[in-house]
Structure 1
């Protein structure tokens, strides 16, 4: 250790693939930025290069953990990956995340982060065994699927190795590609960055431990764990059961507390009937989030769910280990088991038109999940599948694709909802330009939506894609939307920014709707203006979807941010300052969790299942964890301020990278459908998620004021940057005429 504090491992690895030089530096440089995301953004600010793309040799990628990872703190096993992102317009810097056991193993080996730079002349993989770090040849792994890569590296290192790898999609520089680790844990958008550097995988064995501050006793840690286990809920912090149970005052169909009567782990070696899962039964915490029912429907889930899985030091176990024998018998896959969660299962289902629950849906989701992960493909939180589903429903592919390519795709399988379609579908996406034939289909879906639409959201002339011409931006193809199929009709020119079914929420980032106005009105909308991709923010979701009655949620929200902070879903009121404070709090907590690295699917814990506490949780748990692990006594407000430092740096880095001082009009812009859907309803009517243009502009005014950003441009002011000890950032922006006057 190079530090007197607990939590941090002490070192950062810098791996130069061009020179093959591997060096170590102290983590103390990054303590003010906490860890995880904070390390990533600080490294990329310090090493900023103008005008480069995600797959250029000059780009860097940072894999980082926070001070809580590996400490045993509950739900603290996330890993942050930060780099330029080819899925995003202008290849802006983003951070992706996966769970599992990788970051604890990184910490056990003695490292808080890995900085990857340069480009290898041949495929390699990085081998880390404590202090011994080497680059190993990976020619035999190049072209190999992710599951087989995990197996090969584990065979070479030992079964205890934690492995992160890319699949064929990353190798082929497909923008919609992932970096994954064992157990279905996936970080989206940066697979092609490693592919461009010819780094196939990273394997780690750490035999050390994460030191806890000397001043902290085991009794203090146990007491905090006991406190957390007494107030934590289920996945997304659902604190009431999904269905009535005898112990529960409330139930809610929207809660992810799925474990209860009628739920069965039917594919387990010895099937398990869950029965009731009382909030105060500590032996059943891991049974609360029986998520398979949410993805497959109860009848199917009860047949195929083997057991829940999850991450290091997490009692919630939100992942689904599924056993579908047809994967081997009918679909000729090498396994009948698949582990995944959320869009790992849902993206294939969305792509195939969302068939009803039953064997066909089960086959689509399990076979599709296999091919997605085998190839290392990212769904971009449904954006990939939304495009596929809607373009197919309107017969756009028949217009776009050359006749020979269109005929080569088995559309009969698609129409019959036959899971055999999944193999060719994801293979075309993963192999892009290297696939036989023109493969405009796979190339369009794989390169990210921003690459084949212009600034108005209209499709480029397809010749641009076929010939890989990146400019000029030519006139879009013209398609009519079929109004008799239930789609909104906007005229003759098709634009994804007008289309509520394709769900592009933010025009500049071209990201799909996810926990935005459909969940939290203006609060969710504002969250989706700041980050350069889907923020994957659950800070608000863990309150809004907790399952408690609206009145109780409103009471909690008012106590935190003031009157009118919370509106029931689909019944929104006008913007107010309380909502702006709520939005800022959500982002600060999101950044905090991704820097600590703590699970934002679970934290913060504003509410609890404990009726004796009047269902109130504890928003200060993160600071309690940080204080005990590091030995640095830190209040909730002080720790939030550290997280806000990272958030302010993120915004400044976006300004620098875009070389654009007008973030308000060039970055924080919502799509037109957000304001125009439900033509027979007005903003504020019960039952609609539509926003109002003027109200959102008022929201930006209020939000910028809370953030300390210039009202006209949305850029942090010098005073704000100085407040967070980012004077060097202000100096850089000012020198480039990017700082508000």
Structure 2
């Protein structure tokens, strides 16, 4: 008798209609060619949400999805991808939000590969999933509260073993910059909170008491031991320490392997814990490698650090748990924590505020401002668009835009001198005001495509300080400062900031440049795939390979689901391996978990297919200049990098030491070459009949052909 067990995948997903209150179950089987996570979610969005749908309409959908490796025992396999229509970028095209924490693992252990939320409730509700018991429950008692209070209340009602994912006031008020928070401080952004708010969905509570069926558990255990012993580094897979240490051949100040002697979790329960000098192969000290609180906030953060924490299945632990009494006193929260930008928001404001603030980077006051702001935005469920919110606030205050455009009474509500008198309560007031979405300042939470036009400041897009990298409304995320054309091109590919870390992990890993060139030659076909920082050379085929690989591995990880802040394993901290990683680990784990014999090339092709699917959905929904829906000219109307990339550093020539300025013709060539790697049309940048045949996407080809969108 054939084995009917579904290995890796749960084999089914939930469909929840908030209008009819009907909950049904669908099979995952038809979607397995798109792996899971991002692939599964994007396929459902493509099939079920028509082009031109209003993100806030009842017909709009949200797909929360995990992958076959989630909660399977594979290290760092605890993330979730959520797909929906953008609230803050041009044409409201499909986007993905990603979150760590415990949500994905709980969902998988409850026996589900995804949740499709459709319709709209007439009153506030939350979705409660406890294994096969799925209920839509009244949430009126938590409506109007922040994510912290909501998490506490729902945990008390449903049990402290549940994972609570919720929105705050920003989402309830339909602010385009709103996110969902799970496990207290793990966010999923890109406007997800506003879409949930439009459906009156306050949150999702998940408890899973099951397990994930794994085809070869011993192989998974052996691969995990091998990976943790020999391959994995620290956060962003940095593989050398940041200080000179007895065991290490190399060190690099920029490395996120920040543990060292006399560096402590100073507020650890039971007494301070020294991070010390954890060596590769010491399994029980791996969690000390990443002291991200001091990496993000500077040395003053040490005295506030309780511990470094992590998501499900993470041995690295890049999440900072801090206790900062003055944050609570200023209106934020005393207990704070985060993994990324929300942990150091004021850093982005200091250069733009200039002499309007007295706070210095890495000072004790800087730590306090950061934690006040970070804990406030998380509680409000307010999303920063990879720090764009903070840059925009600082710019609009320092350049006088707020004073010019806000009603006098609204501008006077705030004591702006608090920037100089060191009172971070100002930012609590400002952020709460924005989250209300009922005032003029709130337009800054609609994103630059709205407020720059409304307040007559379109030149902000073409200013280096803005960090806006695309005219459709998103900022840099490891862009041209990350291997020049490589980072620049992949920043164009999605409908929001790309969140690709495959390249920047390699850039900052800490190994000597010459050694990285050797690895580049082995992986991307030439040492010329990489350049020294700010000393770039013209575009070449190896760079195109590197860019394609960066996109594909990111998409693959978001589909499996794995943490792209550490994966892929391009390099290793192990000298005996000559610092080489193992790029076949994804395929080895996939085969061991699912029982499906799979190669790395197979997975890369699947990643390219998923990226092509999102590209097709973008083509189908993108508008032409006349407003009509359907536009396959991706090069001119989507992949258009902002002007500052070509005009920055006046007086310096491109391809000279000391600048990352781009050359127009060379960047156009870079786009053409990367399009070619995917099989897309090299002039337009859209999918072709031939590439859709290559990826076995007959249904997508048929629809795009009917719409006249295939060149």
TM-score over 0.5 (shorter chain): yes
1:506 aligned partner:
470
2:387, 2:21 → 1: CA distance? 38
1:595 aligned partner:
559
1:341, 1:82 → 2: CA distance? 22
Q: Choose 349-358 or 540-549, whichever is displaced more.
A: 349-358
Match for 1:533 among 496, 503, 514? 496
2:234 aligned partner:
234
Query: Structure 2, unaligned stretches of length 5 or more?
Result: 354-358, 623-629
1:465 aligned partner:
none
1:482 aligned partner:
none
Aligned: 1:444 with 2:443: yes
Q: Residues 240, 431 of structure 1: CA spacing in aligned structure 2 closer, same or farther, 3 A cutoff?
A: same
Residue 409 of structure 1 deviates from its aligned partner by: 1.6
1:315 aligned partner:
315
Aligned: 1:150 with 2:139: no
1:223, 1:566 → 2: CA distance? 33
Residue 153 of structure 1 deviates from its aligned partner by: 0.9
Q: Is the 8 A contact 1:3 1:10 kept in 2?
A: no
CA shift digits 1:278-323 (9 cap, x unpaired): 223222110001111112211x122011100111111000000001
Q: Residues 32, 636 of structure 1: CA spacing in aligned structure 2 closer, same or farther, 3 A cutoff?
A: same
Compute the TM-score of the two structures, normalised by the length of structure 2.
Answer: 0.95
CA shift digits 1:134-155 (9 cap, x unpaired): 1101111110110111111111
2:632 aligned partner:
661
2:506 aligned partner:
543
1:706 aligned partner:
677
2:377, 2:594 → 1: CA distance? 39
CA shift digits 1:334-392 (9 cap, x unpaired): x5211212211222442454732222112111111111011001111111111112222
Q: Is the 8 A contact 1:414 1:421 kept in 2?
A: yes
SS in 2 for 1:32: helix
Q: Choose 336-345 or 230-239, whichever is displaced more.
A: 336-345
Query: Structure 1, unaligned stretches of length 5 or more?
Result: 434-438, 454-458, 463-475, 478-493
2:484, 2:506 → 1: CA distance? 14
1:355, 1:408 → 2: CA distance? 26
SS in 1 for 2:691: helix
SS in 1 for 2:502: coil
2:13, 2:466 → 1: CA distance? 41
2:480 aligned partner:
517
1:394 aligned partner:
399
Match for 2:594 among 630, 651, 657? 630
CA shift digits 1:472-516 (9 cap, x unpaired): xxxx36xxxxxxxxxxxxxxxx512221001111123x2111211
2:649 aligned partner:
678
2:345 aligned partner:
347
How many residues matched?
692
CA shift digits 1:700-735 (9 cap, x unpaired): 111111111112211111010011111111111111
1:365, 1:316 → 2: CA distance? 23
SS in 1 for 2:412: helix
SS in 2 for 1:96: strand
2:48, 2:420 → 1: CA distance? 49
Q: Choose 649-658 or 635-644, whichever is displaced more.
A: 635-644
2:534, 2:363 → 1: CA distance? 30
2:185 aligned partner:
184
1:665, 1:417 → 2: CA distance? 46
Matching of residues 373-412 of structure 1 within 5 Å: 373-412=378-417
Q: Is the 8 A contact 1:592 1:643 kept in 2?
A: yes
Q: Choose 397-406 or 150-159, whichever is displaced more.
A: 397-406
1:294 aligned partner:
295
Residue 2 of structure 1 deviates from its aligned partner by: 10
Aligned: 1:567 with 2:534: no
1:338 aligned partner:
336
SS in 1 for 2:581: strand
2:214 aligned partner:
212
Aligned: 1:110 with 2:81: no
SS in 1 for 2:243: coil
Residue 422 of structure 1 deviates from its aligned partner by: 2.1
SS in 2 for 1:223: helix
Q: Is the 8 A contact 2:243 2:251 kept in 1?
A: yes
Matching of residues 115-264 of structure 1 within 5 Å: 115-189=116-190, 190-213=192-215, 216-218=216-218, 220-229=219-228, 230-264=230-264
2:383, 2:43 → 1: CA distance? 26
CA RMSD of aligned residues (A): 1.5
Q: Is the 8 A contact 1:542 1:605 kept in 2?
A: no
Residue 418 of structure 1 deviates from its aligned partner by: 1.8
1:483 aligned partner:
none
1:184, 1:414 → 2: CA distance? 26
SS in 2 for 1:519: coil
Q: Is the 8 A contact 2:237 2:565 kept in 1?
A: yes
Compute the TM-score of the two structures, normalised by the length of structure 1.
Answer: 0.92
